[in-house]
Amino acid sequence: MKLWNRLFGSPSHIALDMEESLDVRRTAIEKLTDQVLLAKIAMEDDYLGVRLAAVESKNFTDQVMLAKVVVEEKSAQIHHAAISKLTDQTFLTEFALRAESDSNAHQAAINKITDRLLLAKIALESKHSSARCAAVRKLTDEAVLGRVATEDGSSEVRETAIQKLTDQDLLAKIAVEVEYGQARRHAVEKLTNQLVLARIATEDEDRGWAIREAAIRRLADPVLLAKIAREDKYSAEIRIAAIKNKNFTDPVLLANIAIKDKDASPCYAAICRITDQAALVKIAMQAMNHKVREAALRHLMKWPIIDYDCRSPEYVRENDIEKLTDQIVLAKIAVGDQFPSVRKAATKKLTDQKLLMKLAVEDKEPEVRRAAINKVTDQVFLARIAAEDKDPAPRYAAVAKLTDLVLLEKIPMEYRDFAVRYRACLGTDYGNKPIVNESPIIDSL
């Protein structure tokens, strides 16, 4: 019977025969031209594959029948196949406005719509946010986009409309007047009007720092940026936004911020913007926060700023100084840093004999004076230190550095300090060359 049907049956009989294989039925459907029959198969057949073959048939072109399939069929696959063949703009619009349709079907219908007025209707009236969003993406009418951006209840739809806007007046209105924070921020990010941006950056404290930050990032006035970076008291994030703005480049002002700002984060941001070596040295010497000084020193050596809380500040800075070779920078640190261990580390790297002798006499910390003495070569000066320094460590260091045998032989007879005299005796070795290794007993004195 099947063979007879295949050989002599009409395509309509074969297409409707439920006992036939799906492939045979699909082949028969491709030959059908009866629009009512194709619609009947598309909506009533038990097998989805057969219904889909009827909708996709190149001969199924009747717009009314296709629309009927779209309305009555529940399968998403059938929906999409039928919608892709529809060209009736009014029906597609009505379908996109239907609340019960799924979002993918909405998208498929809207993709087929080219009439701008109908797209505007969907963007303003559809109950589905996905449909409104899809319509907005195809719109270019600034007035409609502005209305959607200010009135739509969905943040996604509002933001999509704002991204399409180019009218600066509309963007300014949204940025200043709309109650939705996200919408305002997206509008600010597209603004180029410097007067409006300045107003938002300086006067909009009630709306939150995120909107002000977005405005500050787009400012072009370096004077206003400097004022915000120095004086704004709302939050550190606001000052950081001004500091990071590419139009704020004055190294002197950036250095002053790094030195004086009460919060560390703006200081770090300022340091990262500075390439002027003198400004970085100034920060490393004068910043109120010791972590900021460390950050400046690291940046001076092109090291990244890291979290310092897990390590002793002095230890970090000593390691940093080990990498320095600039004698001017080292000199400033050795003379002016508040931490003795840091001054000592810098002193060990110095080569200027006059500065070393100055430090050997004037620094308040014995260990710093000792570090300086260890670098001094002037024998007469060393002998004077051995005799006059008030602390033992510098005196012992001075004796250890003496190589002049005449001066060494005078010490045991003239100096009161027993340990100094004893070390001098070891140094002379009864007239032979100085001994390098000292007695551990004397070292402990």
pLDDT band at 443 (very low <50, low <70, confident <90, very high): very low
Model confidence at 24: pLDDT above 90: no
Residue 135: what pLDDT?
92
The first and second tokens of residue 259, run together, are 């030195």
Q: What pLDDT digit, counting tens, does each position of 212-222 carry?
A: 888 999 999 99
Average pLDDT taken over every residue of the chain: 79
pLDDT attached to residue 322: 73
How far apart are alpha carbons 80 and 41 in whole angstroms?
A: 16
Tell me: the pLDDT tens digits for 265-274? Answer: 999 999 989 8
The ranges assigned to domains in the chain are: 250-350, 351-445
Whether 413 shows a pLDDT value over 90: the answer reads no
* 9 or 139, greater pLDDT: 139
Instruction: Tell me the CA distances in angstroms from 379 to 203, 282, 391, 396, 420, one per residue in order.
Output: 68, 35, 19, 14, 15
Instruction: Give the span between the Cα atoms of 126 and 202, in whole angstroms.
Output: 39
Q: pLDDT tens digits, residue range 369-407?
A: 999 999 999 988 988 888 788 888 887 888 888 877 776
Q: What is the average per-residue pLDDT within 74-94? A: 82
Q: What is the mean pLDDT of residues 93-108?
A: 74
pLDDT of residue 255: 93
Q: In angstroms, what is the C-alpha Rg of the chain?
A: 42
Average pLDDT over residues 311-338: 71
8 A C-beta contact, residue 119 and residue 139: yes
Sorting pLDDT into bands at 50, 70 and 90, what band is 442? very low
Q: Which residue has the higher pLDDT, 301 or 107?
A: 107
62/40 Cα distance (integer angstroms): 13
pTM, two decimal places: 0.51
Which H, E and C letters describe the chain, residue by residue?
Answer: CHHHHHHHCCHHHHHHCCCCCHHHHHHHHCCCCCHHHHHHHHHHCCCHHHHHHHHHCCCCCCHHHHHHHHHHCCCHHHHHHHHCCCCCHHHHHHHHHCCCCCHHHHHHHHHCCCCHHHHHHHHHHCCCHHHHHHHHHHCCCHHHHHHHHHHCCCHHHHHHHHHHCCCHHHHHHHHHHCCCHHHHHHHHCCCCCHHHHHHHHHHCHHHCHHHHHHHHHCCCCHHHHHHHHHHCCCCHHHHHHHHHCCCCCCHHHHHHHHHHCCCHHHHHHHHHHCCCHHHHHHHHHHCCCHHHHHHHHHHHCCCCCCCCCCCCHHHHHHHHHCCCCCHHHHHHHHHHCCCHHHHHHHHCCCCCHHHHHHHHHHCCCHHHHHHHHCCCCCHHHHHHHHHHCCCHHHHHHHHHHCCCHHHHHHHHHHCCCHHHHHHHHHHHHHHCCCCCCCCHHHHCC
Question: Token digits for 249?
Answer: 């480049």
DSSP conformation class of 251: H
Select the more confidently predicted residue: 231 or 439.
231
Which residue did the predictor score with more confidence, 286 or 304? 286
Angle at 62 between CA 90 and CA 111, to 5 degrees: 45
pLDDT at 209: 75
More confident residue, 138 or 337: 138
Q: Which of 9-13, 290-294, 409-413 bottoms out in mean pLDDT, i.e. has the lowest?
A: 409-413
The strand ranges marked E within 347-424 are: none
Q: Between residues 102 and 160, which one has the greater pLDDT?
A: 160
